[in-house]
Amino acid sequence: MSSSLLRHLAIIMDGNGRWAQRQGLKRTKGHEVGAEVIREITQYCAKHDTIQSATFYAFSTENWKRPKLEVEFLMKMLDRYLKNELETYQKFGIRFQAIGDLSGFSNSLQKRIIDTQEKTKDNSKLIQVLALNYGGRGEITRAVNSLIDSGKKSVSEEDISLAMQTPYSDIDLLIRTSGEQRVSNFLLWQISYSEFFFTPTLWPDFKAKELDDIIEDYKNRTRRFGGL
């Protein structure tokens, strides 16, 4: 019960806009550099001995409140990212999976997401999960409603876990960059016994070396899961 083996890593990638502003650049440049960091960290995870899944908070349901031009840029960047990453997914054996309410996206972007999932479904080295138009409360609500629709009169915790979009495993370690210390409606069901790590580093400055150091810290923690 005290195992500190890291199988499922989740990251709240925060600080792209602040990074760009501090550099005297447009916020969109921060997002572009942030996408490059996702690539670097995903490849690190694919090479890691124990990490099986890495889930990144890419676009929350609340992010629609941002300026229209910034949202439009993010949608185009996501489409471009998935197009360009397909070769990397295949090279490193990475299976891509999206979670969230994809119906909010354009038909072409939905197609790109579905096609990428289909083309990488047999890759087994790592599952890279991007949370897109995602909210933890919404995921739980959809899971419960799907169980009701299936005819369930009562549900167990296991039922809900299996009905979630991320049934692979609970989160072992949740990292948030930029110094903020909150979970922001991210994977609320799956982080019930996660270890948390908050770093002041802004996401565009986050490197594999820092992740390596955080994982070493994680290994030295004792996880009791409510026991002694």
Which residues are catalytic, by number? 14, 63
Distance CA 185, CA 176 (A): 13
Contact 57, 67 (CB under 8 A): no
| CA separation for the pair 76, 60 (Å, rounded) | 16
Cβ atoms of residues 1 and 225 within 8 Å:
yes
Query: What is the residue type of 186?
Result: F
Residues of 200-220 as b/e, b for ≥16 C-beta within 10 angstroms? ebbbbbbeeeebeebbeebee
Burial pattern 128-137, b for ≥16 Cβ within 10 A else e, equals: bbbbbbbbbe
Dmax of the chain from CA atoms? 57
φ, ψ of residue 134 to 5 degrees: the values are: -110, 145
